[in-house]
């Protein structure tokens, strides 16, 4: 006996067995039970989600002989349902539009519409990949679709509903099938493996469910392949080799290297990943997926993965979004890039280049330590530090920020990334002494990411030439650097508006031409 592939063996024979399409099944069941059968349906969705399967089940429901009227639960025992399942029913015609695009074929079909079904209630026409029909073929169908005989039902299946003319769509009831989520696919695969009595582990089915991208047929096809590859059983390591799946721990370590600005670590991990022989676009796709999960964790705190939680605390939200955009832009270029490996490497280099910690370390490497020390001391003496004792000798040993004004001067002199400036520019000084520096932050300000805190501490310590313990307390912030800068800009703008309003020549000009000055366009001179 020939082997029957799993995708055909476990094809649903009734609506109850269909997974992931409850919204479509409910609509069809309700219409059948209320005896409101539509004259034409369009089932749209990606490959392998059940378009043709649901069409066949609907045909069996309409023509089942176990009841005097259509039923939502076909018996699968009467001659009509058996013949539809076997594909030899004279009243259920499956047509492949890809190989019957000519208008002559459709005209031949229309000629048979008027004839009543041979032995069933309805004559049902299923046209698969209907978007492949020519424009003339669609036009030939229009009149029949609008007013078909009461014994005829049309079912169209397509992966590209946007290619179907609007004139055809308006005559049909369109039902959109969704991709099936990984959890449903995973449960479905486990049930099948249990029925087949095949030894497996949970990770194997999870990997297959993820690789299927929401397609039930793809999941079953990969499962068939994995069983053959594993000689009758599923092992996660063998499945990873089959799928070219990358160990998540390596991807997390690679991403941590990007966040830390450690280029050597990033490319060392990439070399380890390359030993698994994956496709380079798969590596980037998985990195993008991790960044997506990290972004959600930062907002919703919904991840159960410790690796995701760790990275989300370490990376700034804005930088995470920047990495995501860099990854997406690079992914769109894979199809046109002459070398996928170079495309991925350039993507990682861009991620490192726009990392604020990377830029900080580069600046520190390029600066002469002696000159840096002199420059730091000069800033401390001239702009920030005040004498804390009567002895000038003591003051040269210990320097502190005495008040918030000193803090503002210090902040404005620091070379920080936009991310760090956004966090610390909204804080005010509470105290600065031997125990460290305490800054006040608004209650609504989130936790400062580790990399941003590290950047700020490194920069400040280079000014004071010693280790500084920095604490952040929540409370009312008064006169933060950003607040003062905004107030200064507002004062300058108000002054500029006042000067224009008092300038007689400008006002005369405006009055002469019946003009109007938009207040928002008035800016102070630089």
The whole-number pLDDT of residue 288 equals 95
**CB-based burial label for 356 (10 Å; 0-12, 13-18, 19+):** buried
State the Cα torsion 154-160-163-168 to the nearest 10°.
20
C-alpha 352/C-alpha 189 separation (Å) is 40
C-alpha 175/C-alpha 24 separation (Å) is 6
Question: Are 182-243 and 248-354 equal in CATH topology?
Answer: no
Paired tokens of 470: 């920095």
C-alpha 125/C-alpha 102 separation (Å) is 17
Q: Residue 43, SS3?
A: strand
Cα atoms in the 13 Å half-sphere on the side-chain side of 487: 7
C-alpha 362/C-alpha 356 separation (Å) is 10
Other Cβ atoms within 10 Å of 472 Cβ, number: 17
Asked if 128 and 100 touch (Cβ cutoff 8 Å), the reply is no
Fold of 6-176: Rossmann fold (3.40.50)
C-alpha 118/C-alpha 107 separation (Å) is 20
The whole-number pLDDT of residue 142 equals 92
Angle at CA 384, nearest 5°, toward 379 and 386?
120
pLDDT, tens digit, 9 for 90 and up, residues 181-217? 999 999 999 999 999 999 999 999 999 998 898 999 9
User: In this structure, are strands 436-441 and 152-158 parallel, antiparallel, or unpaired?
Assistant: unpaired
pLDDT, tens digit, 9 for 90 and up, residues 323-351? 999 999 999 988 888 899 999 999 999 99
Asked if 151 and 117 touch (Cβ cutoff 8 Å), the reply is yes
C-alpha 466/C-alpha 402 separation (Å) is 17
**CB-based burial label for 510 (10 Å; 0-12, 13-18, 19+):** middle
Fold of 248-354: Zinc Finger, Delta Prime; domain 3 (1.20.272)
The whole-number pLDDT of residue 178 equals 94
Give me the residues of the chain with pLDDT under 50, please: 1, 360-361, 364, 366-381, 383-397
**Beta-carbon contacts of residue 448 (< 8 Å; ≥ 6 apart):** 423, 424, 456, 472
| Domain ranges within the chain, ordered by starting residue | 6-176, 182-243, 248-354, 369-479, 494-521
Place of tokens 């004792």: 389
Does the CA dihedral 193-196-197-200 come out positive or negative? negative
Q: What is the domain class of 182-243 according to CATH?
A: mainly alpha
């Amino acid at each position: 006996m020939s082997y029957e592939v799993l995708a055909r063996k476990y094809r649903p024979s009734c609506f109850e067995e269909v997974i992931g399409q409850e919204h479509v099944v409910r609509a069809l069941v309700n219409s059948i039970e209320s005896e409101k059968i539509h004259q034409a349906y369009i089932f749209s969705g990606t490959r392998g989600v059940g378009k043709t399967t649901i069409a066949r089940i609907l045909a069996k429901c309409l023509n089942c002989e176990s009841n005097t009227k259509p039923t939502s639960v076909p018996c699968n025992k009467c001659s009509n349902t058996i013949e539809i399942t076997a594909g030899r029913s004279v009243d259920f015609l499956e047509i492949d539009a890809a190989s019957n695009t000519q208008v002559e074929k459709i005209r031949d079909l229309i000629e048979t519409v008027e004839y009543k079904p041979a032995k069933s209630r309805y004559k049902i026409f299923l046209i698969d990949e209907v978007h492949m029909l020519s424009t003339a073929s669609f036009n030939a169908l229009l009149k029949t679709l609008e007013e078909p005989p009461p014994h005829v039902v049309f079912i169209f299946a397509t992966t590209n509903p946007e290619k179907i003319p609007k004139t055809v769509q308006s005559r049909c009831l369109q039902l959109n099938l969704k991709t099936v989520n990984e959890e449903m696919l995973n449960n479905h695969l486990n049930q099948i493996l249990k029925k087949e009595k095949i030894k497996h582990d949970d990770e194997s089915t999870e990997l297959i469910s993820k690789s299927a991208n929401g397609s039930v047929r793809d999941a079953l096809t990969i499962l068939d392949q994995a069983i053959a590859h594993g000689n009758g059983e599923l092992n996660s390591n063998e499945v990873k080799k089959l799928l070219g799946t990358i160990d998540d721990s390596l991807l997390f370590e690679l991403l941590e290297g990007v966040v830390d600005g450690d280029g050597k670590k990033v490319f060392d991990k990439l070399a380890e990943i390359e030993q698994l022989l994956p496709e380079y676009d798969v590596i980037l796709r998985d990195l993008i997926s991790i960044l997506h999960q990290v972004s959600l964790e930062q907002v919703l705190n919904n991840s159960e993965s410790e690796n995701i939680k760790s990275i989300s605390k370490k990376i700034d939200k804005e930088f995470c979004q920047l990495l995501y955009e860099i990854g997406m832009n690079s992914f769109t270029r894979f199809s046109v890039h002459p070398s996928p490996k170079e495309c991925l490497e350039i993507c990682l280099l861009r991620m490192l280049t726009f990392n604020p910690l990377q830029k900080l370390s580069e600046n520190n490497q390029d600066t002469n330590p002696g000159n840096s020390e002199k420059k730091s001391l000069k800033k401390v003496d001239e702009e920030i530090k005040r004498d804390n004792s009567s002895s000038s000798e003591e003051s040269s040993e210990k320097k502190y920020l005495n008040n918030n004004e000193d803090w503002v001067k210090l902040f404005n002199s620091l070379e920080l990334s936009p991310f760090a400036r956004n966090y610390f520019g909204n804080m005010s000084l509470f105290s600065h002494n031997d125990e460290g520096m305490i800054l006040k932050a608004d209650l609504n300000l989130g936790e400062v990411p580790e990399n941003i805190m590290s950047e700020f501490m490194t920069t400040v310590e280079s000014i004071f030439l010693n280790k500084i313990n920095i604490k952040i307390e929540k409370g009312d912030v008064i006169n933060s650097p950003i607040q003062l800068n905004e107030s200064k800009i507002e004062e300058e703008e108000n002054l500029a508006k006042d000067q224009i309003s008092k300038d007689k020549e400008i006002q005369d000009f405006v009055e002469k031409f019946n003009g109007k000055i938009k207040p928002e366009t008035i800016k102070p001179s630089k």
